[in-house]
């Protein structure tokens, strides 16, 4: 009886071959998933942990890093000239005599040092623009001990990047760019270069911060505590895979030496610049043709925008944006599918776009969004034309005081001095009453007022007329559009005493 009862129970625990196969497959898949997770965790820890040595990485990439020596003729110190009439046959004689007595008086050859790195086996080299700027001779010293003369392919002062080319007998060792966006604060990095002219040197540290802006329009710096000194400029900042994720460019230091605050232009910016320099010998950035300012919480609330985001359009001169239907007061929320957080992001994205490209631009206008299509121009062409085509009008200065501001009409001379070459009309602030609302709003001498009550203004009389009209209409404030160094922003001045 006992045996008979056991048989059915035993039979109930037996599985078919198909069921066993499914179970085994499930267990195998689970094991593989667990193994993959463990390996991934181990790999992540290995990447974040300090390596036992950086020597293998140095051997991997070191031969592609170069020292750069430049020389140029610079003007000497000016001293008293010879006491002979200009153009006299004795003039050259006296000049030669004075130059021999005081060598610094005449032109002399100056040398500078920097770093760079080879990005292709046929000899293209990346460095900083300030390393080679003004040089009439550029020599490249390789780690292996030989030296080659370089030719300048092109430069981009906006990002401080330059591209050089050398001719070698054979293929050169080179390094590749990595993804700077993938770098995290705390990741290990290695800098290589020629600090203080001491030759090939290596320093290591971590990414201290990302997305730093210093003073340029297209800034996107990686901050690092790896030691960077004079002479490191133009050298590479490597990740642990031996990829260039930045070009060492500047340091922050009260002493002039490294205190652990160095900046490298991110590879995501550099690769685009280098590609254009290599193809065209110059940059060809996209140009939208708008003046913009950040959207503050107050402005967002006033416009009915759900959050302080995007770029507020303050001016639309003749150009691609006006042709595409963008208007003053629009908030650009998206450009070519990329959300726009602020003005800096819009400038960067537009600059990375190609001229002639037609882009979808999402704007917020009158409480609604709409999509416009804009064909981009070229920024370099637009800036060049703006710098050489003033409107030519000569308006005699007529200083007058309005709302605590001493104003005079904009002229060709002040237009260039104040850095607003594309502004055709406006009023220059010559002085600000310290007790005025204008002073409390941050207006200073040198600011240019281009609009009053959202209308262009060319003379003081027009300003005074609009102020009086606003007072007559019971307004408590009047809106001004000012430009400082070419950058526009709106300011509301109180009309109440």
Residue 330 annotated as catalytic: no
Alpha-carbon span 263 to 266, nearest angstrom: 9
For 221, the token pair is 């710096």
Summarised one tens digit per residue, pLDDT across range 205-217 is 999 999 887 766 7
231 marked as binding residue: yes
Summarised one tens digit per residue, pLDDT across range 398-427 is 467 888 898 888 776 676 677 666 556 788
Return the higher-pLDDT residue of 371 and 302. 371
pLDDT of residue 496: 79
**What mean pLDDT is reported for the chain?**
81
Alpha-carbon span 265 to 250, nearest angstrom: 9
Q: Nearest Cα to 117, choosing from 253, 6, 221, 270? A: 270
Q: Which residues contact 294 (CB under 8 A, 6 or more apart)?
A: 308, 311, 312, 342, 343
Summarised one tens digit per residue, pLDDT across range 285-316 is 899 989 888 898 988 888 889 999 999 998 89
Alpha-carbon span 39 to 344, nearest angstrom: 40
Q: What is the DSSP letter of 145?
A: S
Q: Nearest Cα to 371, choosing from 345, 342, 336? A: 336
Task: Provide the 10 A C-beta neighbour count for residue 247.
Answer: 32
Q: Which residues contact 105 (CB under 8 A, 6 or more apart)?
A: 76, 77, 78, 79, 98, 99
Distance of CA 145 to the CA centre of its chain: 35
- Domains along the chain? 61-77+94-166 (2.40.10.10), 180-280 (2.40.10.10), 286-385 (2.30.42.10), 391-494 (2.30.42.10)
For 55, the token pair is 């020597």
Alpha-carbon span 450 to 466, nearest angstrom: 13
- 9-47: string of b/e by CB count within 10 Å (b at 16+)? eeeeeeeeeeeeeeeeeeeeeeeeeeeeeeeeeeeeeee
pLDDT of residue 180: 94
Alpha-carbon span 457 to 469, nearest angstrom: 14
Q: Percent of the chain at pLDDT above 70?
A: 76
Q: Assign 190 a pLDDT band (cuts: 50, 70, 90).
A: very high
Q: Assign 477 a pLDDT band (cuts: 50, 70, 90).
A: confident
Residue 100 has pLDDT above 70, yes or no: no
Distance of CA 445 to the CA centre of its chain: 28
Residue 175 has pLDDT above 60, yes or no: yes
According to DSSP, the β-strands at 188-193 and 236-238 are antiparallel
pLDDT of residue 384: 57
Angle at 90 between CA 86 and CA 96, to 5 degrees: 100
Q: Which residues contact 271 (CB under 8 A, 6 or more apart)?
A: 177
pLDDT of residue 216: 67
Residue 26 has pLDDT above 70, yes or no: no
3-state secondary structure of 224: strand
- Residue pair 289/378 in contact (Cβ under 8 Å)? The answer is no
232 marked as binding residue: yes
- Residue pair 128/157 in contact (Cβ under 8 Å)? The answer is no
Long-range pairs for 315-319: beta carbons < 8 A, 24 or more residues apart: 315/290, 315/291, 315/450, 315/481, 315/488, 316/289, 316/290, 316/291, 317/289, 317/291, 317/422, 318/289, 319/287, 319/288, 319/289, 319/377, 319/382
Return the higher-pLDDT residue of 337 and 7. 337
130 marked as binding residue: yes
Residue 107 has pLDDT above 80, yes or no: no
pLDDT of residue 476: 85
**Distance in angstroms between the alpha carbons of the first and the last residue of the chain:** 112
Residue 125 has pLDDT above 90, yes or no: yes
Q: Three-state secondary structure along 17-81?
A: HHHHHHHHHHHHHHHHHHHHHHHHHHHHHHHHCCCCCCHHHHHHHHHHEEEEEEEEEECCCCCCC
Confirm whether pTM is higher than 0.75: no
Q: Assign 375 a pLDDT band (cuts: 50, 70, 90).
A: very high
**405-to-209, 224, 307, 374, 490 alpha-carbon distances in Å:** 42, 45, 34, 39, 16
Residue 220 annotated as catalytic: no
**311-to-192, 295, 354 alpha-carbon distances in Å:** 39, 6, 20
Least confident of 218-227, 354-363, 381-390, 448-457: 381-390
Residue 2 has pLDDT above 70, yes or no: no
3-state secondary structure of 9: helix
Summarised one tens digit per residue, pLDDT across range 418-456 is 766 655 678 888 888 888 888 888 898 888 888 888 778
pLDDT of residue 92: 55
Q: Nearest Cα to 483, choosing from 217, 289, 286, 292? A: 292
3-state secondary structure of 441: coil
Q: Assign 32 a pLDDT band (cuts: 50, 70, 90).
A: low
Residue 117 has pLDDT above 60, yes or no: yes
Residue 77 has pLDDT above 80, yes or no: no
3-state helix, strand, coil in the chain (%, to 5): 30, 35, 40
Which residue in the list 120, 130, 437, 494 is annotated as catalytic? 130
Residue 13 has pLDDT above 50, yes or no: no
Q: Nearest Cα to 237, choosing from 65, 49, 122? A: 65
Q: Assign 135 a pLDDT band (cuts: 50, 70, 90).
A: confident
Task: Provide the 10 A C-beta neighbour count for residue 442.
Answer: 12
Which residue in the list 115, 156, 160, 315 is annotated as catalytic? 160
Angle at 450 between CA 487 and CA 379, to 5 degrees: 40
Residue 115 annotated as catalytic: no
Which residue in the list 115, 233, 266, 334 is annotated as catalytic? 233
Task: Provide the 10 A C-beta neighbour count for residue 423.
Answer: 21
């Amino acid at each position: 009886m006992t045996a008979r009862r056991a048989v059915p129970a035993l039979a109930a625990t037996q599985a078919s071959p198909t069921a066993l196969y499914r179970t085994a497959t499930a267990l195998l898949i689970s094991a593989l998933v667990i193994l993959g997770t463990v390996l991934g965790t181990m790999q992540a820890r290995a990447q974040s942990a300090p390596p036992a040595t950086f020597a293998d990485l140095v051997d991997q990439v070191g031969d592609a890093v170069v020292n750069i020596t430049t020389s140029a003729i610079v003007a000497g110190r000016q001293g008293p000239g010879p006491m002979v009439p200009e153009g006299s046959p004795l003039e050259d004689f006296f000049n030669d005599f004075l130059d021999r007595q005081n060598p610094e008086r005449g032109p002399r050859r100056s040398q500078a040092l920097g770093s760079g790195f080879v990005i292709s086996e046929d000899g293209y080299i990346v460095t900083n623009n300030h390393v080679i700027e003004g040089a009439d001779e550029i020599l490249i010293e390789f780690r292996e001990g030989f030296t080659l003369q370089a030719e300048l392919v092109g430069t981009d002062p906006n990002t401080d990047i330059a591209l050089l080319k050398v001719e070698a007998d054979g293929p050169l060792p080179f390094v590749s760019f990595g993804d700077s966006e993938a770098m995290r604060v705390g990741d290990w990095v290695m800098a290589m270069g020629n600090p203080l002219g001491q030759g090939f040197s290596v320093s290591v540290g971590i990414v201290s911060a990302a997305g730093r802006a210093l003073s340029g329009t297209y800034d996107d710096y990686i901050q690092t505590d790896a030691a960077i000194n004079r002479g490191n400029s133009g050298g590479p900042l490597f990740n642990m895979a031996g990829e260039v994720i930045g070009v060492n460019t500047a340091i922050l230091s009260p002493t002039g030496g490294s205190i652990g605050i160095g900046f490298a232009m991110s590879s995501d910016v550099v690769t685009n610049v280098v590609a254009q320099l290599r193809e065209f010998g110059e940059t060809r950035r996209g140009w939208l043709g708008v003046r913009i300012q950040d959207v503050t919480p107050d402005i967002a609330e006033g416009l009915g925008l759900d959050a302080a985001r995007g770029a507020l359009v303050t001016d639309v001169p003749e150009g691609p944006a006006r042709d595409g239907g963008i208007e003053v007061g629009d908030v650009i929320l998206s450009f070519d599918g990329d959300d726009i957080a602020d003005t800096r992001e819009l400038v960067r994205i537009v600059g990375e776009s190609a001229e002639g490209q037609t882009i979808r631009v999402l704007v917020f206008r009158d409480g609604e969004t709409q999509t416009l299509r804009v064909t981009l121009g070229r920024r370099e062409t637009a800036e060049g034309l703006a710098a050489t085509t003033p409107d030519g009008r000569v308006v005699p200065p007529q200083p007058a005081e309005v709302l605590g501001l001493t104003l005079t009409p904009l002229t060709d001379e002040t237009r260039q001095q104040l850095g607003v070459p594309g502004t055709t009309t406006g009023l220059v602030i010559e002085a600000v009453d310290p007790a005025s609302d204008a002073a409390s709003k941050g207006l200073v001498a040198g600011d240019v007022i281009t609009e009053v009550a959202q209308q262009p203004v060319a003379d003081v009389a027009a300003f005074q007329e609009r102020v009086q009209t606003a007072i007559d209409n019971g307004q408590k404030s009047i809106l001004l559009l000012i430009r400082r160094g070419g950058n526009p922003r709106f300011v509301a001045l109180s009309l109440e005493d």
